């Protein structure tokens, strides 16, 4: 019998003659591999899944005109297409354009947004709408507007547009939709205050006189009658805006122009999203300015960072427990085979050969446990993702290979202390005990 055949014969006997001990080592590796693979699969899938889930809560990137001239003219359709193509290179993207105008209802100033209803509805699935979305001759008002006017779904309001109010609407309303790095609410409040101030100043400088007296234009309630189709309640700045179709806003204003703000929901986050913003801002041909919506992107980053931190903590605990479990089992096996090891050394076996046998035996336990644990971990990861996110995840072969290698490595590393003790057994002492 050759040395190699003898080696595998002894290895086979060592594994299957002590099935209970071998089973304990396999189970220790299995539990570690299953837990680590499940956590790693979820950790890899969570950022993507979380990003997709967060996209239901609105845009994470907005685009506005870069110059004063652009603000008065808005972002034309061709520019919107170019920017969308630039953002959508390698990413899934949803977009919605908003045209803002200052209007009057019962002589009080309000902001109306002309929108593509289908695009806005797809982008803002979290909006709580009572009634219907706007349509031809129908508007949707924010909760704050509805409360201020004392209206409900089905009521009719007369909306008036005056050129004197238009000078302030584009820039201030665009600012109201953007989030500064310091605070979204601060930016929105400041923008609304600016809009009111600018509108008042516009009225003061453009009011006509009649018979040497200031006209009562502020009390002019003429306009176009609209039916309130729905009321939107988001708890945000949207509650103070009136929404209508782009065609109705153009008809009300008497002219067409581009959008003041284009919102994008991009399937990207962190540095990848910032790279898209920088690419747009460096492109002088588009004449637009892009920025991230801070409250959305920061929430993404914070939640994912917390989950990844939790993953590393749990993974470290699992690794330690797996090392302890496999190491304890191998120590028990070595103790049981103490006499055998002494006899083999007395017959001429060197310490290196004995150590290799134990390391290979530990590696086999780790391989079997890793295979079973990876399969179980994948099933657990699928169930977890299906339960939490409502989506299935595929098997990551690279992660699977890493799980197997890690299981084998942990089993071998855990066996080093007991194997070193085994190779130091003095055969004379063992034989004397016999």
* Domain final residue pick, 239, 271, 294: 294
Is residue 6's pLDDT more than 90? no
| pLDDT tens-place string over residues 315-331 | 888 888 877 877 787 77
More confident residue, 215 or 367: 367
Residue 173: the pLDDT is 46
Same structural domain for residues 27 and 155?
A: no
In a domain, 78, yes or no: yes
43-57, 87-101, 226-240: which is most confident: 226-240
* 8 Å CB contact between 369 and 407: yes
Residue 299: the pLDDT is 61
pTM: predicted TM-score of the whole model, two decimal places:
0.61
Q: Which of 91-95, 111-115, 346-350, 412-416 has the lowest mean pLDDT?
A: 346-350
Same structural domain for residues 40 and 149?
A: no
Is residue 250's pLDDT more than 70? yes
In a domain, 198, yes or no: no
In a domain, 147, yes or no: yes
Q: Give CA–CA dist 212/133, Å, rounded.
A: 46
In a domain, 284, yes or no: yes
Same structural domain for residues 331 and 400?
A: yes
More confident residue, 166 or 318: 318
Tokens of residue 313, six digits: 């903590």
In a domain, 213, yes or no: no
Residue 431: the pLDDT is 65
**Count of domains observed in the chain:** 2
Same structural domain for residues 36 and 67?
A: no
* 8 Å CB contact between 186 and 178: no
In a domain, 186, yes or no: no
Residue 9: the pLDDT is 64
Confidence tier at 146 by pLDDT (50, 70, 90):
very high
Average pLDDT over residues 63-80: 81
Same structural domain for residues 126 and 252?
A: yes
By residue range, what is the domain housing residue 283?
Answer: 59-175+221-294
* Domain final residue pick, 256, 274, 294: 294
Is residue 157's pLDDT more than 60? yes
Q: Give CA–CA dist 299/269, Å, rounded.
A: 11
Q: Give CA–CA dist 174/64, Å, rounded.
A: 7
Same structural domain for residues 42 and 129?
A: no
Average pLDDT over residues 189-196: 40
Confidence tier at 136 by pLDDT (50, 70, 90):
very high
Taking CA atoms, 31 is separated from 25, 319, 415, in Å, by 10, 10, 17
Confidence tier at 251 by pLDDT (50, 70, 90):
very high
Taking CA atoms, 271 is separated from 15, 60, 279, in Å, by 51, 13, 12
Residue 325: the pLDDT is 79
Residue 167: the pLDDT is 54
Residue 188: the pLDDT is 40
For 391, the enclosing helix (H) or strand (E) is: none
For 182, the enclosing helix (H) or strand (E) is: none
DSSP for 127-167, please give it. Answer: -EEEE---BTTEEEEEHHHHHHHT--TT-EEEEEE-HHHHH
Same structural domain for residues 149 and 288?
A: yes
Tokens of residue 168, six digits: 């302030």
Task: From 66, 137, 126, select the one nearest 281 (Cα to Cα).
Answer: 66
* Domain final residue pick, 294, 325, 343: 294
* 8 Å CB contact between 144 and 206: no
Same structural domain for residues 240 and 167?
A: yes
Same structural domain for residues 306 and 290?
A: no
Task: From 296, 293, 290, 295, select the one nearest 275 (Cα to Cα).
Answer: 290
In a domain, 373, yes or no: yes
Average pLDDT, the chain: 78
* 8 Å CB contact between 222 and 160: yes
Is residue 105's pLDDT more than 60? yes
Residue 194: the pLDDT is 37
Same structural domain for residues 277 and 321?
A: no
Same structural domain for residues 75 and 122?
A: yes
Same structural domain for residues 285 and 352?
A: no
Average pLDDT over residues 145-150: 94
Residue 242: the pLDDT is 96
Residue 206: the pLDDT is 40
In a domain, 343, yes or no: yes
């Amino acid at each position: 019998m050759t040395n190699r055949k003898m080696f595998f014969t002894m290895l086979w006997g060592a594994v299957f003659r002590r099935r209970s001990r071998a089973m304990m080592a396999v189970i220790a590796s299995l539990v570690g591999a299953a837990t680590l693979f499940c956590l790693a699969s979820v950790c890899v899938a969570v950022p993507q899944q979380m990003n997709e889930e967060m996209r239901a809560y609105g845009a994470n990137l907005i685009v506005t005109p870069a110059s004063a001239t652009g603000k008065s003219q808005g972002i034309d359709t061709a520019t919107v297409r170019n920017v969308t193509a630039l953002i959508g290179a390698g990413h899934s993207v949803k977009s919605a354009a908003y045209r803002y105008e200052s209007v009057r209802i019962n002589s009080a100033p309000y902001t109306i947004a002309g929108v593509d209803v289908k695009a806005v509805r797809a982008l803002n699935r979290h909006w709580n709408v009572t009634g219907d979305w706007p349509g031809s001759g129908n508007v949707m008002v924010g909760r704050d507007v509805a409360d201020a006017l004392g209206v409900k779904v089905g009521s009719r309001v007369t909306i008036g547009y005056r050129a004197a109010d238009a000078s302030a609407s584009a820039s201030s309303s665009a600012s109201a939709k953007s989030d500064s790095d310091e605070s979204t609410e601060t930016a929105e409040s400041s923008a609304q205050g600016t809009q009111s101030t600018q509108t008042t100043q516009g009225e003061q400088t453009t009011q006509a006189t009649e018979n040497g007296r200031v006209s009562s234009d502020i009390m002019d309630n003429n306009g176009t009658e609209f039916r309130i189709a729905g009321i939107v309640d988001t708890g945000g700045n949207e509650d103070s805006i009136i929404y209508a179709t782009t065609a109705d806003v153009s008809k009300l204003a008497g002219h067409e122009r581009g959008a003041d703000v284009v919102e994008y929901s991009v399937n990207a986050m962190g540095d990848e999203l910032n790279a898209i913003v920088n690419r747009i801002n460096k492109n002088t041909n588009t004449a637009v300015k892009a920025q991230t919506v801070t409250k959305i992107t920061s929430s993404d980053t914070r939640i994912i960072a917390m989950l990844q931190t939790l993953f590393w903590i749990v993974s470290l605990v699992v690794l330690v427990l797996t090392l302890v479990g496999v190491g304890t089992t191998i120590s028990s096996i070595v103790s049981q085979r103490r006499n055998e090891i002494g006899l083999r050394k007395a017959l001429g076996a060197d310490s290196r050969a004995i150590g290799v046998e134990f390391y290979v035996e530990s590696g086999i336990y780790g391989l079997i446990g890793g295979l079973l644990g990876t399969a179980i971990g994948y099933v657990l990861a699928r169930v977890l993702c299906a339960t939490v996110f409502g989506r299935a995840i595929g098997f990551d072969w690279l992660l699977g290979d890493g799980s197997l290698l890690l299981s084998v490595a942990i089993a071998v590393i855990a066996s080093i202390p007991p194997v070193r003790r085994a190779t130091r057994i003095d055969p004379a002492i063992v034989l004397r005990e016999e």
